[in-house]
Amino acid sequence: MTDKSDVNLLGVNTRWIAADNDNYVREHSQTITQEFLDDIKDQRNQSAGRREGNFMRVASIPTSVVEQWMREGFDIMSDKNITGKEIVARLKAEHLDAFLTTDKQI
């Protein structure tokens, strides 16, 4: 992706909540369906017997997780120094293994 204006946040709902003093808070939510999780699990199971080429799909990370990480200073969209290995490690450390699409080493 070269132009970040092309980003389409699928399934992300935004709600504005009135706060004190005419201020508003933006709330994002995203529903992670069982179908989505089952699809990722199938991809992970099938990856064991598949020979990879130049590119390998490693994870399918929901927008809500990416945004949370950005707020925590871990910006996988902009920081070119963050490696795939670091992303996988963070998913595992946060018990988000369900978003991994392969069990192969990267």
pLDDT at position 2, please? Answer: 43
Round to whole Å and give the CA distance between 85 and 93.
12
Round to whole Å and give the CA distance between 102 and 106.
9
pLDDT at position 14, please? Answer: 83
Q: Considering the entire predicted model, what is its pTM?
A: 0.74
Task: Give the confidence band of 97 by pLDDT, cuts at 50, 70, 90.
Answer: very high
Any bridge partners for residue 30, and if so which?
Answer: 12
Which tens digit of pLDDT belongs to each residue from 30-71?
888 899 999 999 999 998 888 878 888 899 999 889 989 999
CA angle 27, 12, 93 (to 5 degrees): 85
pLDDT at position 9, please? Answer: 53
